[in-house]
A and B are shown apart, each in its own frame.
Chain A
Amino acid sequence: MRKLFTLISLLIGLSLILTACGGAPAEKVTLTIESWRNDDLSIWTDKIIPAFEAKNPNIHVVFAPTAPADYNGVLDTKLQGGTAGDLISCRPFDASLKLFKSGYLTSLSDLPGMSNFGDVAKSAWITDDGKDAFCVPMASVIHGFFYNKDIFDKYGLKEPATRDEFFALLQALKDKGETPLVMGTADQWEAATMGFQNIGPNYWKGEDGRLALIKGTAKFTDAPYIDTWKDLAAWKPFLPSGFEAEKYPDSQSFFTLGKGVIYPTGSWEISQFEKDSKFKLGIFPPYVQKAGDACYISDHTDIAMGMNAKTPHAAEAKVFLSWIASDEFAKLYANALPGFFPLSSAKVTLDDPLANEFLSWRQTCKSTIRNSYQILSRGEPNLENELWRVSAGVINGTITPDDAGKQVQDGLNKWYKP
């Protein structure tokens, strides 16, 4: 028995020594950023963080991303367990609002630099009564279509402006033996985000339609929504064979390898595509029904940053957040990540021509955001998940556009009272 005690005390002693070594006091305060943007890891560690650390030598910042689809779940678990990082990347609207209401995020209304943002920019990260802003808005993304300019030039084709031109173009490309449109439905969200939310705003007239859904004056069974799904269903013959099992990275590679011509997606692809593709890239905005119709774009407030309420380094975290709100960050971020457009009122000039072209659509078209994000995804069944499922089903041909509208509206009716 005595031997056992000796052994145990030895082990305890050893572990004490080890922890003492491991926990040697650091000179700097280390801040950890939680994020779902694992694609941006190198940009944060090589460009953005060094710029901040040069000015704040006593703060060390670590960018620690999680895979996008797992982010919300992982973050929730970490926050509950008290192991989350000091700075939290905020998804727009309800996911972050719930974190704030549960006391995981701090109010940042009095943060120096918050005044750099307009109401629209802040709208995605503010309480319903508009009192507490809890995340510093960072960027929005704009939806559109990328295309392979070399192939367009080869056949003398031009960018389509209307629905008829778009489908005529797809047919022309198909007749030439090309794969006209690149998209897969295996991941489901592409069908909803890059299909439905991309071309949809032109059908439901942007913000008017989105707010009407929230007010309850419009329904998913109305013509604009059914027409959007009908439009998507018509994409099917132009997609690569086997698109039902094609995943997002497959589509990205398929397009950048030059095997497909047009890729419906969003501005966030710019840096990856410019790096990977060997051909000239072009973009065009979502098509309208008739020439001369007012156009709408999905200019989605996508990402912001807040502070973990339980962080031991609140003062340092606030220093970092006010830097995020500064013009310097807006300029740095927008140019390091072309396709993520700053939300601050700072005048930012972009070096990337594609990013500039995306941004120019804000002048000609009206901006809106994805219609499932504000309020409507609060209940069960979750509207966003439903849109993924039915949009993928519509393109696969397993759900008719009318059924899609009915299923989504029925799901919404179950819990949502306008």
Chain B
Amino acid sequence: MQQSKQRSHFPVHVAVFLAPAVLLYSVFMVMPLINSLRLSFYNIGEQNQMSYNGLQNYVKLFTDSNFAPFFWRALKNNFVFFVIHVLVQNPIGLMLAALLAEGGRVRNFFRTVLFMPTVLSVVIIGFIWQLILNPLWGVAEGMLKAVHLGYLFGPWLGKPESALITVSLISVWQFVGIPMILFYAALIGIPDELTEAAHVDGATAWNIFWRIKFPLILPTVGIVSVLTFVGNFNAFDLIYTMKGANAGPDFATDIMGTLFYRTFFGQQLQLGNPTMGATVAAMMFLIILTGVLLYMFLWARRVQTYEL
């Protein structure tokens, strides 16, 4: 009886509250995404006519010698880019967060300063770092020389073997504030009783961190990792700013984002190819989707969450 009454009375207010978000999200996010995926199954002819092409674009991307090497190289570079972020950015973020959470008088000052690069425009970041590392007038060489390490300096951004690592580390420098602030928020959420009790039991600070605090913030570690993954496989702006769409030298810094841009919009005498560009974009989407699903099913379900 009660059930049928509920069914007859459609909850209008719920629909009304949801409508603006659903509408905006559909029009500006879901529709373009679906349209872009659709575009990857088409081909554009000489006279701008579209024709259905099935999976041909994907076959081309994986087998054609003009696309496949670029795709695999971009994917490999993107993984290097991601691994550097995971191994450098997130541990440093965690360390800074642990230091900040310890307190101290200048905590607010450092929290702001360390977060600052994250809110700066990527164009500014790219420009500043290019100036710092510039072999002609950058300050990096002089600073290294001042501590007798001048021989270590090289045109890092210009050498195929070091360019990708350099760009990755600049990106790490820019975005380290995000894991830091997330870890920090999780760490200060841990009740003092737990650490005090551990203290009384005679645990060292090292043990308290790794055996009590770290397990408690594991869910945050997962979120930070997945955010890094999504961010890195969508990355484009920093590399475009610093190395251009050709992602030189010799495509050493070419990642999925720059490959997509070059394919979709073209470059100098190379004309843009919207359908192949959409194919690259669809692959980016699939890679990110796979990563997020792995996180959801393998990590988020297993990790223990404690009510504090």
Residues of A participating in the B interface, judged by any CB pair closer than 8 Å: 69-70, 72-74, 76-77, 91, 94-95, 98, 101-103, 184-189, 240-247, 250, 254, 259, 372-373, 377, 380-385, 388-389, 392-393, 396, 398-399, 414
Contact = CB atoms under 8 A, between A and B. Distances in A.
Nearest to B157: A245
A414 B160 CA distance: 26
A166 B19 CA distance: 73
Contact of A392 (B245, B248, B267): B248
A187 B269 CA distance: 15
A72 B271 contact: yes
22 contacts: A69-B268, A72-B267, A73-B245, A73-B265, A91-B269, A94-B269, A94-B271, A102-B46, A185-B249, A186-B243, A188-B246, A244-B159, A245-B155, A254-B136, A259-B136, A373-B269, A381-B66, A382-B269, A382-B270, A388-B246, A389-B246, A393-B249
Given A74-B265, A246-B135, 12 more contacts: A69-B267, A72-B271, A94-B269, A94-B271, A185-B249, A186-B158, A186-B249, A244-B155, A244-B158, A245-B157, A383-B269, A398-B160
A250 B134 contact: yes
A51 B267 CA distance: 34
Nearest to A385: B270
* A interface: dominant SS: helix
Contacts of B134: 242, 245-246, 250
What are the nearest 8 A-B pairs in CB distance? A242-B135, A244-B158, A245-B158, A73-B265, A245-B155, A242-B155, A382-B270, A384-B269
B219 interface: no
A186 B136 CA distance: 13
A251 to B, nearest CB: 9
Interface string B124-135: 000000100111
- Chain B interface size range: 20 to 34
A373 B266 CA distance: 16
A215 to B, nearest CB: 20
B248 A186 contact: yes
A188 B271 contact: no
Given A69-B244, A245-B135, A188 B249 contact: yes
Contact of A76 (B65, B158, B265): B265
Contact of B135 (A73, A102, A243, A382): A243
B133 A245 contact: yes
A250 B136 contact: yes
Interface in B219-263: 243-246, 248-251
A82 B157 CA distance: 38
Given A73-B272, A381-B66, A242 B246 contact: no
B4 interface: no
Nearest to B64: A380
Nearest to B131: A250
Contacts of B244: 69, 187
Contacts of A259: 136
Contacts of B130: 247
A77 B134 CA distance: 34
